[in-house]
Amino acid sequence: MTYSIAFAGKGGTGKTTMAGLLVKYLVDTGRTPVLAVDADSNSNLNEVLGLEVEGTLGDAREEMKKGGIPGMTKDIFMEMKIQGAVVETTGFDLVVMGRPEGAGCYCAANTLLTDCLDRLIENYANVVIDNEAGMEHISRLTTNNIDVLLAVSDPTRRGIQAAARIIELSKALGLRIGRHLLMVNRAKEGQAEAIEKAVSDFDLELLGSVPEDPLVQEFDLNGKPTFELGKDSVALRAAYEIFEKIVQT
């Protein structure tokens, strides 16, 4: 049975970096195959993973809305486009949702897209979803359960409050999510007490904190995939300890 973990958080918290490190953790620990899903309209998970992307599911949805290929049924067309949008590599694959829809009705296209994704996801042991702050992409992504929603915050009270609102939104949408958790990224020395108080005030479950790491900043500044971080990275080591708490054995 596929196990799914979705990341969410306001911009600038490093949720995409954390999603990429989770993919790396799953590959490093042999929990493969893994499907990485970039469901953020500002797609850049591929850069974290060091992959090139040529097509998105949004492109396929647009093409289907325009009629697809003459003589080919719409479901076969969508299946073909989804398979073509999957970027394959060792241990994991990546699929990018793409930008939100334009004008007009996309109900039929979204239904076919969801059905095809459900069949695709069944082929993977683990699915990692990098989502934007809103939960609508998750609700359209798949009818499968989300086992863990992991909200990522920076080490500020407002950031933790934003994470709490994201979790509230996911509950209000009625999504089938097993656990709602929080992780704090780029924490500095001496902030633990203040973080714990804010977490308690907003009634959240803190999974752990990842310390600020100059190596992550260096990789990002130089355009180097953080997927290539080594064990000398304090952020990677802390993230791995956090992930160990939520992944399946």
Domains, the chain, ordered by start: 3-43+87-94+124-243 (3.40.50.300)
The pair of three-digit structure tokens given for residue 146, joined into one six-digit string:
């989300």
* Total count of residues recorded for the chain: 249
Query: What is residue 40's predicted lDDT score, i.e. its pLDDT?
Result: 79
Integer Cα distance of 117 and 111 in angstroms: 10
Tell me if 122 sits within 8 A of 153, measured CB to CB. no
The alpha carbon of residue 52 and the mean position of all alpha carbons in its chain are separated, in whole angstroms, by 17
Strand 177-187, strand 206-211: pairing: parallel
Query: What is residue 136's predicted lDDT score, i.e. its pLDDT?
Result: 57
* Sheet of 87-88, strand order: 87-88, 92-96, 34-39, 126-131, 3-8, 146-153, 177-187, 206-211
The pair of three-digit structure tokens given for residue 107, joined into one six-digit string:
């109900």
Output the tens digit of pLDDT for each of the chain's 249 residues. 899 999 998 888 999 999 999 999 999 999 999 999 988 777 899 999 999 998 887 787 778 777 778 878 877 887 888 888 899 999 999 998 876 566 655 455 556 667 767 888 889 999 999 987 655 555 554 435 789 999 999 999 999 999 999 899 888 888 889 999 999 999 999 999 999 999 999 999 999 999 999 999 999 999 999 999 999 999 999 999 999 999 976
pTM as predicted? 0.90
Integer Cα distance of 222 and 209 in angstroms: 25
